[in-house]
Chains A and B, each alone.
Chain A
């Protein structure tokens, strides 16, 4: 009964108010198909049209966009020409959708159960206690240890990983034949990512679910996908079986994409262990609110040191206290216990601004109403010695250093891309001549290509300015690429500090081992290891089922 999802020659354009087309189409001649039981990956840098393709299949495009040419077929029904009532039975029914950022995809005022009842009623005709029983069953299937509590929970009460599982249960509630998964794991750390992907893969094996998996993450593509489609500027530029395309990409674009994902450690001069410390944390603790139970501290007895010219990685899952640590170090949010000592030298050393923070979300790190020029000028205003001309000079120099065009200065954050803004946040941090830079997930919101350029920029700045860097990340590849030493944070405590090479070769703490194990090696030449990992994962899953059943 299951049939493939087939897109033929799809074109999506911006419509003008008078109904005519405007500019170049956003998608042009997109043809693809997903068979039942097939895991197809759709990759490409941000803005290449991946999400647009998925939303076209559901016919949920923003009002100013329109499908102008082509067809989308699912079991004889052309979704492009289907009526609204027909589409409503397909959406969430035969064609499921899994979103990124699960928390924003739930109505914050409704329980998870309330959400689950909707597709169960619309597509399964289940109501009342029957719907409830089915919902609880679904939550159990996706890995809720207490599904009844999950049913009653509000979205904000769930962790990121649990929210994504709940979102998966919601997408599966309508018994879909095809699932559009739009970066379902990009907000998750590696451990959770793997759990969610295994869950999807199990549905694929057991029920013949067809999956169109949209992602930036080529490592997961190598591990799970049967076929890969590479998208650039609204068109599919290359397609092929995963093991062929990932090893021998034919187009230059696919090669770039793969190269960017391949974050091989560069040979950089490691600072010797004899270098002096620039930052010493001793017994730093932080708790929010006095009523928290003991052990609920965000940071607990963290002792670390950062050497001059070193790049120290801080690894940890969501909620392990990484951002709290960053804020405590720069003094944005004072620690409630312990000491943080700065041992810097030079004219700027005594200023609090000698340690700067590069924020995680470039779009929220700027005032949306201010031009970049105004935002960059702000930190210089308290420096009374500077004339306006000197300020402009400094801004221009910082901008040149992060390789940004000066024309960007008169734009507002809404008019800039994520990569441009992340460069601007770095420029802003550099304006005050810091000696230590804290990068809090500075590249996790960016696609692989942009991420690599930003990381290289940070490496160059570190070299040229002899900065000391703390790189906070949940991304093992970033840490391996950048860092000299690694510290692992678990529930607010540092459980391991080691040289990067030693850490990845032989992690000591059990949590470190699970982190390293979950990070599938992200290199195309290690593909066969990855496929082994996939088989291994599948076997482990089957074994677990056998053990449970």
Chain B
């Protein structure tokens, strides 16, 4: 177990190191000289004073070796100094953290909603594959995959905000304003979770050990509650983490449509505005969180399914 934890943690650190280095390189590989970009963003006119370029490069430490620059950048980064945004001239951290809080709550709500819907549906489907209920559930949830968010969101707004006037159209103020974005974001996870739960349950129900449990005197219901459902849900832990990680930076469409001040929109805006420090800060935080969550899911999976770690070791 200890070995498993060390191995996974090492992988996590390596992933963060590699991705942060890639992010660090963004200004060097994008077209244009970063120093000129900075100066141009502050002075009107196209003519740039060459001595100002050299002076700024020196003061920013841009003449140091790349590795030294990276380590300094990384050190600053994790002590909370993510630099200043090109656009707003405010510290990046002050913009990233509130956006992160918003996105985390949005993603948590939509995944909780997705799980709450998908678990019962998947279990019902999986326990009676081929039944009418299964066919209906599968048809409906599969249809969710084909509904893009930029189509679902306006439809939901039309129905709930404009026609029924029960929910706000956009913004991020109270819980009611979170309902429509969370619902939009939950649709596709619902369909993926449902089919994963269904497959997991079918697989678990067909296992020989379930028949053996019946032969020990467990009733049909007991065998399902004790052996089929717990085993059938194990694969969901990994899928859940993948979706969590994916939605952290991938909720951009929903955030833009509903004017939610989250990470997706922050990253989107930073790219549009060529706000490199903001983009760097946002991406590294998202990547670190995503890798952290998937690692956590590996631990959970290992805990739920004890055969996993032993076959790796």
Contacts and interface: CB of A to CB of B under 8 A. Distances in A.
Contacts of A104: 207-209
B225 to A, nearest CB: 12
Interface string A84-98: 110011111100010
B218 interface: yes
B216 interface: yes
B218 A60 contact: no
A105 B209 contact: yes
A156 B219 contact: no
A123 B217 contact: yes
B307 interface: yes
A101 interface: yes
Interface string A103-131: 01111111000010011001100000000
Contacts of B207: 104, 107
A173 to B, nearest CB: 8
Contacts of A89: 217
Interface in A280-321: 289, 291
A174 interface: yes
Interface string B298-309: 000000111100
A170 B234 contact: no
Interface residues of B, number: 26
Contacts of B210: 107
A461 to B, nearest CB: 35
Given A154-B307, A157-B310, A101 B208 contact: yes
Given A105-B209, A108-B305, A108-B307, A91 B217 contact: yes
Interface string B205-235: 0011111111111111000001100110010
Nearest to B204: A107
A101 B213 CA distance: 14
A366 interface: no
Where chain B touches its partner, the secondary structure class is: helix
A119 B217 contact: yes
Interface string B274-313: 0000000000000000000000000000001111001001
Contacts of B220: 84
A107 B213 contact: yes
B234 A84 contact: no
A107 B211 CA distance: 11
B212 A99 contact: yes
B216 A170 contact: yes
B211 to A, nearest CB: 6
Nearest to A89: B217
A84 B223 CA distance: 14
B307 to A, nearest CB: 5
Contacts of B227: 107, 110
A92 B219 CA distance: 11
B215 A91 contact: yes
The 4 closest A-B pairs by CB, nearest first: A92-B217, A92-B216, A105-B212, A97-B215
Interface of B: 3, 207-220, 226-227, 230-231, 234, 304-307, 310, 313
13 contacts: A58-B215, A88-B218, A99-B208, A99-B215, A105-B208, A107-B207, A108-B306, A110-B227, A119-B216, A122-B218, A156-B307, A174-B217, A291-B3
Given A91-B214, A91-B216, A97-B212, 7 more contacts: A90-B217, A91-B215, A99-B208, A118-B213, A119-B216, A154-B307, A174-B217
Interface of A: 58, 60, 84-85, 88-93, 97, 99, 101, 104-110, 115, 118-119, 122-123, 154, 156-157, 170, 173-174, 289, 291
